Chains A and B, each alone.
Chain A
Amino acid sequence: MEIKKSEIKRWAAMGPRAAFGMGILKLYEEEPDFFVMSADLGSSSGLARFYSKYPESFVNVGIAEQNLIGVAAGLAKDGTPVFATSFAPFISMRAGEQIRMNMGYMHLNIKAVGLGSGLAMNTLGASHFGLEDIAVMRTIPGMTILCPSDGLQIVKCIEASKHYNGPVYIRLSGGSDIIYDDNFNYEIGKSIILKRGNKVALVGAGSVVSQALKAADMLEKQGISCTVVDMHTLKPLDEDTLNSLIEYELIVTIEEHTIIGGLGSAVAEYYACGGKRPRQVMIGINDFYPHPGSYEYLLNECGLTPEKITERVMEVYVGK
């Protein structure tokens, strides 16, 4: 896809769900050979323009996430890519077993999109938060898991996942920060080093990468030189990049997800089997359901603001 500079700003400003809808529309206008599905959240997924323009390729199953994935499987049975969308907890857990059978066991070409994951649904409360979706999806054999970190990456991730023949879970989280202000090379399974330092490596996935970048600047001011990695693919994990971080004094994983079973766990599992491993700090949501509030309030409650990340890293780094 050709990407214009003006689009990049627009996608970021719109927020992840609208950027997703724009990306789907743009891709479809170049390659009209896939289906998009919703469980009565079409307009909340930025898909209103898509379904009014291309109703023949849009399927709404109503508020029925299990049937969403079942019908997606039937549509994908001949190899057609199908983007099936709903809020993260509903698609990953209410339809979890449908995902297991159709995307895991049968390895069908479905792209399950978890909208508003992490803390993005802020005042809607924990019923709508995506705190456990990565943990659940990681256990499905053959699943690819993508966590785009900004508007442009969302669009690139949609394109890459459409071109990949197999099951993908795409996790959209919150915020409207720009991380990539120009077109870049996006490849599933290949993380991106956003900043190079030599003492501490901050590894993030999803929109929280922007908090990691800000934390890295704060840590630099304290004399701690940081590398920042955008680990946009959680499965398969980019082992080459993890190998290149082994000599760092500290690896800090940062995620808008429970600390059980997400990015931090995946990284720890990888290092645990090696002969040499760096010390790891896992920053994420500490096995509780945060009280609802603004996105900023929630990041703060969960220790995910740049200030809180910096504080936590300093504590461990200085104390070690």
Chain B
Amino acid sequence: MTSKEIEKLALAVRKRIIKMAYECNNNVHLGGALSMVDILAVLYGDILCNIGGSYEERDKFILSKGHGALALFATLGEMGIIPEERLHTYLSDGSNLCAHPVMEPEIGIEASNGSLGQGISMAVGIALSAKRKKRDYQVYTIIGNGESDEGLVWEALASASHFQLDNFTLILDDNKFQNDGASETVMYYPNYKERLHAFGFDAAEIDGHNISEICKALRSRHTEKKPKAVVANTIKGYGISFMENDNSWHHNRLTQKNYEQAMRELEESIWR
């Protein structure tokens, strides 16, 4: 996809998120879904190879920050991987499309997530399996800044480097907030890039809403025998003026008024 097409995809995903959030008439994780939309649009629009192919062939994406599931469902919906009628089951009784991903490879969901820190650890295992079995697929995972409080994240990072996984890419969606508020007040990890360097990664820091910066970072080749990390500086709730950096939208319900304003802003893209 061209940058313009990826931008269009990202806009369509944001609209889809707002529609699904409104339609389900329930509390949903909005802020952390919106912060990673541009990263997902680049991954699905430009980076992931053989989507829909056999397990041995296809690149794998694991959403370690499972509470961002709505953005993943919306992206898979816009890509035509999750059928339209399934999207309408979001948060309805018995649906696999709940607040966190439920493993269903047939609709592009590789793993069940929601317990933070576990997805990145599994992603390391998937990448290690490719190395041991001489398979060509790449493995990508997105973790959140709040998620990095989990000790398991750092166990997984150390092992990705130890196993020399140059087929592994970590994207840290650093939107600076977590459930209880700003990470600076809850549990602050300054200097992610330096920390990741120290853990043996090739790390880059980018604007997580700049499509060309994301493309460049994700397209860059791995250094041989080194895993890669991209620290994406993002804005929680990005794209909807009243949600940006307002942590009450971490998990919240859209009123009709909120919905109309959000859709109007997206339609007009006044936020750009």
Contacts and interface: CB of A to CB of B under 8 A. Distances in A.
Q: Do A and B come from one complex?
A: yes
Interface of A: 35, 56-57, 59, 61-62, 64, 66-67, 69-78, 80, 97-98, 101-102, 105-106
A106 B118 contact: no
B56 A67 contact: no
A257 B56 CA distance: 42
Contact of B124 (A57, A67, A76): A67
B132 interface: yes
B10 interface: no
B122 A62 contact: no
Contacts of B111: 73, 77, 106
Interface in B85-117: 103, 110-112, 115, 117
B158 interface: yes
Given A67-B152, A98-B118, A73 B125 contact: yes
Question: What's the dominant secondary structure at chain A's contact region?
Answer: helix
Contacts of A98: 118, 121, 152
Interface of B: 55-56, 103, 110-112, 115, 117-118, 120-129, 132, 151-152, 155-156, 158-159, 162
A61 B126 contact: no
Q: What are the 10 A-B residue pairs with the smallest beta carbon separation, nearest first? A: A74-B125, A70-B121, A67-B155, A71-B125, A74-B126, A64-B155, A73-B122, A66-B152, A74-B122, A75-B125
A101 B64 CA distance: 13
B151 A71 contact: no
Contacts of A105: 112
A98 B152 CA distance: 10
Contacts of A59: 128
A153 B114 CA distance: 38
A17 to B, nearest CB: 24
Contacts of B124: 67, 70-71, 74
A77 B129 contact: yes
6 contacts: A66-B155, A69-B121, A70-B152, A70-B156, A76-B125, A101-B112
Nearest to A66: B152
A75 B103 contact: no
A67 B159 contact: yes
A61 B159 CA distance: 7
B31 to A, nearest CB: 24
B155 A102 contact: no
Given A74-B128, A97-B115, A66 B122 contact: no
